[in-house]
Structure 1
Amino acid sequence: MLFSESIGRKVVSTTTADTVGAVGEFLVDPRSRTVAGMQIKKSKTGDALVWSGISTFGTDAVTVDSADRIVEIGTEESLSGLDGKAHRVIGKRVLSTAGVDLGTVDDVEFDPETGAITSVIVDAVSIQGSTLTGVGSYAVVLDHRDR
């Protein structure tokens, strides 16, 4: 599944069958090469959803057992330092660990069951997600020797 296809997807409580928010930005943990969580828009209970709080990440909606799974990002230690413009991935410059400019992130593919980053799409070229080493204000860094 791609980040670009998932942004804006409804978050639905399986307990009440109500829409409790919508997917905003993805919060990527480069150390574990996973989606740690998501910023949530249009929610009354908070602004973030930790990946472990998701029941299912489906093709039409993200389900949670309760609206209480959506929390304030500042109260969730596992999301600390992963939010904000400096940590957005799509549209960011990509550098190799050797300091070579590889292009720009077009999209990110992830496993909807585990949240694992499976590939980073750079200038229409898919690069294995296992090469992700950093996300910062200047660039996304991949351990990638050549193109």
Structure 2
Amino acid sequence: MMLFTEVRGLPVLSADGDRRLGAVTSLTVDAPSGTVSHLRFRAGRLRGETVLAWDAVRSLGPGAARVAPVTPADAVPPGHELLGRRVLTEEGVERGTVLDVAFDPRDGRVLALFTTRGELPADRMTGLGDHALVVRTS
């Protein structure tokens, strides 16, 4: 298990570890499936963000993310940042703000959401957009 806050800032290396490609900026989550779908990183402050599909991540650990060769993506989903996102139920009831997310670094499965109002099971996520993370009430 790893936390999103542990991943942010990790070096991104080529799969063989020979080249440093940048540093992780965020992880994109597909809320309905409850999995990490993309890893996002920058090579420098003035460089654009590179987005890789999760299946291009060869390994992810406390020291670095190792990734397959970077190729231009066909269709990149919007990158809604989950950390700091407001949490609402399907009925529109405020359920706090996301502080951190636990996930399995091997398969990208989200395990739990840690919010300002306590822990939420990942299987309650239904959608993530510009305004909020939407969760089922039970």
Q: Provide the TM-score with structure 2 as the length reference.
A: 0.87
Choose the corresponding residue for 2:129, options 106, 129, 136.
136
Q: SS of the counterpart of 2:62? A: coil
5+ long unaligned stretches in structure 2: none
Aligned match of 1:60? 63
Tell me whether 1:97 sits opposite 2:90 in the alignment. Answer: yes
Q: CA offsets per residue over residues 47-81 of structure 1, 9 Å max, x none?
A: 1121100111112111124xx33x44xx333x32x
For the Cα contact (< 8 Å) 1:106–1:124, is it kept in 2? Answer: no
Aligned match of 1:35? 36
TM-align CA RMSD: 2.1
Q: Tell me how far 1:46 sits from its aligned partner.
A: 6.5
Whole-angstrom distance in 1 between the partners of 2:107 and 2:85: 24
Q: SS of the counterpart of 1:106? A: strand
For the Cα contact (< 8 Å) 2:96–2:116, is it kept in 1? Answer: yes
Higher mean displacement: 3-12 or 29-38: 29-38
User: Mapping of 1:1-147 within 5 angstroms?
Assistant: 1-15=2-16, 17-42=18-43, 47-65=50-68, 68-69=69-70, 71-72=71-72, 75-77=73-75, 79-80=76-77, 82-83=78-79, 87-123=80-116, 125-145=118-138
Q: SS of the counterpart of 1:20? A: strand
Query: What letter is aligned with 1:49?
Result: L
Which has the larger share of helix? Answer: 1
Whole-angstrom distance in 1 between the partners of 2:131 and 2:40: 21
Q: Provide the TM-score with structure 1 as the length reference.
A: 0.82
Sort the Cα spacing of 1:9 and 1:100 in 2 relative to 1 into closer, same or farther, 3 A: same
For the Cα contact (< 8 Å) 1:118–1:128, is it kept in 2? Answer: yes
Q: Matched residue pairs, number?
A: 135
